[in-house]
Structure 1
Amino acid sequence: MLPLCLLGVLADEERSYGYALLGRLTDAGLANVKAATLYPALTRLEEEGSVDVEWGAGEGGPGRKYYRITETGRARLRDEGAAWARFAATVGTLVGEHADEAEGRS
């Protein structure tokens, strides 16, 4: 689900770079995502045309690789986002009642 989450973050911004994306994922509750997982996912998104990449000046340091969502990426986000929402609703229906029971016992 990482690529879908990355597209969701990039859809909210004009462009972003890897470290900032990690921060947004962490802030959203996905604190276990590591750079060794993030950058290959971004590379795959670039290869499939879901993101464009450009190099820009870094803030007082080396250049940064910036990522921007493309129309292909927006279409993927819409389609896979809708599929994920249906899946999550189904799982919620199947386990929700049992989760409520478990919380009541705590």
Structure 2
Amino acid sequence: MRKGILEFCILHIISRGEVYASDMLEELTSARIMVVEGTLYPLLTRLKNAGLLDYKWVESTSGPPRKYYLLTETGQASLKGMNETWQELSDSVNSIVSKTDKHKAAINGLTTVESAVPAVDNDPDAPSPEN
């Protein structure tokens, strides 16, 4: 996966509110972003060490306390910048894709027109269609 995309997705998930790591994994998986715990936990640690997120422990009725992650102010600012970069990249890619789609449509349109127009005989000695 392109560097930074997973971090971007994780920060977005956490930006909605405190979230448990297994819930992040579930959401990423449901979005067809395959991540395993061995990738997620070190990434969460790096994001925390960078000051982008924090966590708090919450007692659980069904076992040990759970660690819930939340964005810091620095994390919110970083996510805002990432959103702007993502939008610029998305706009650029969409522009290229759109031009390609228009080009293909124009070529397909020409092919359709060519097949609908009868062939023209350029032989000057050929009888004219009015005869």
TM-score by length of 1: 0.82
Q: SS of the residue aligned with 2:46?
A: helix
Q: Would you say 1:89 and 2:112 are equivalent positions?
A: no
Partners of 1:73 and 1:24 in 2: CA distance = 20
Q: SS of the residue aligned with 1:57?
A: strand
Partners of 2:101 and 2:14 in 1: CA distance = 33
- Which structure exhibits the higher relative contact order, with contacts defined as CA atoms closer than 8 Å and separated by 6 or more residues? 1
What is the CA distance between 1:99 and its match in structure 2?
A: 5.8
- Matched with 1:50 is 52
How well do the aligned residues superpose, as a CA RMSD in angstroms?
2.1
Report the identity percentage. Answer: 34
Q: How many residues get paired?
A: 101
Q: Would you say 1:17 and 2:15 are equivalent positions?
A: no
Alignment of 1:1-106 (within 5 A): 1-13=5-17, 15-27=18-30, 29-98=31-100, 101=104
Q: SS of the residue aligned with 2:40?
A: helix
What is the CA distance between 1:64 and its match in structure 2?
A: 1.4
What is the CA distance between 1:90 and its match in structure 2?
A: 0.5
Comparing both structures, which one devotes a greater share of its residues to helix? 1
| Structure 1: stretches of 5+ with no match in the other structure | none
